[in-house]
Amino acid sequence: MDDVIKEVLISEDEIHKRIKELGNEITNDYKGKDLVVIGILKGAVIFMSELVKNIDLPITMDFMSVSSYGKSSISTGEVRIIKDLDFSVEGKDLLIVEDIIDTGLTLNYLSELLEKRGANRVRICTLLDKPERRTVGVRVDYLGFEVPDEFVVGYGLDYAELYRNFPFIGSLKEEVYMNK
Ligand code: 5GP
């Protein structure tokens, strides 16, 4: 990994410590409620796996896979659903789990969509946030870490489908994407 990582920004220990805190917070906030935790594939998988182990409630889990439409419609923020949820969200309390919020378009679209489908309440939990890059407002209820405006990989986040398995969050060396 030394050949592709410029700098380790957040270590595995720091990530696990923060996830424990988020799990406790979520456990306290949802006591007595039926919570559905919705992971956005594939980036959120590693974060979500660790997070749910730290939520001490009878939750259920579901997954969605989305991709943004081409450049032309980026301003609309519309996203294409590649894999939809398996279960109805009507009347349910939902927690969307995402790897990183960048412009905010994906989560802005998804939370509105799930509200339209009749969810009782939609909240957002993201491992990382790049607030400098935001173009639309998104209310982040649970946040792991803020990161600078750099391309990061690891702990589920990829570059060209690689590096998701790195146990830390690191910035990518420029030559990795220059050589492609
Ligand atoms: P948004 O709709 O907020 O602009 O896009 C969020 C998505 O962009 C994330 O789910 C992720 O797939 C991708 N993304 C944004 N910044 C980064 C980054 O620094 N590294 C990686 N690997 N993906 C990113």
pLDDT tens digit sequence for 121-173: 999 999 999 999 898 899 999 999 999 999 999 999 999 999 999 999 999 99
Q: Give the number of other CB atoms < 10 A from CB of residue 65.
A: 13
Architecture of domain 5-177: 3-Layer(aba) Sandwich (3.40)
Q: Of the listed 13, 56, 84, 102, which one is catalytic?
A: 102
Cα–Cα dist 88/103, whole Å: 28
Cα–Cα dist 87/180, whole Å: 40
Ligand 1 touching residue 138 (CB < 6 A): no
Q: What is the pLDDT of residues 100-120, one digit of tens each?
A: 999 999 999 999 999 999 999
pTM score, whole prediction: 0.94
Ligand 1 touching residue 48 (CB < 6 A): no
Q: What is the pLDDT of residues 14-55, one digit of tens each?
A: 999 999 999 999 999 999 999 999 999 999 999 999 999 999
The structural domains of the chain, with segments of one domain joined by +, span: 5-177
Cα–Cα dist 71/171, whole Å: 24
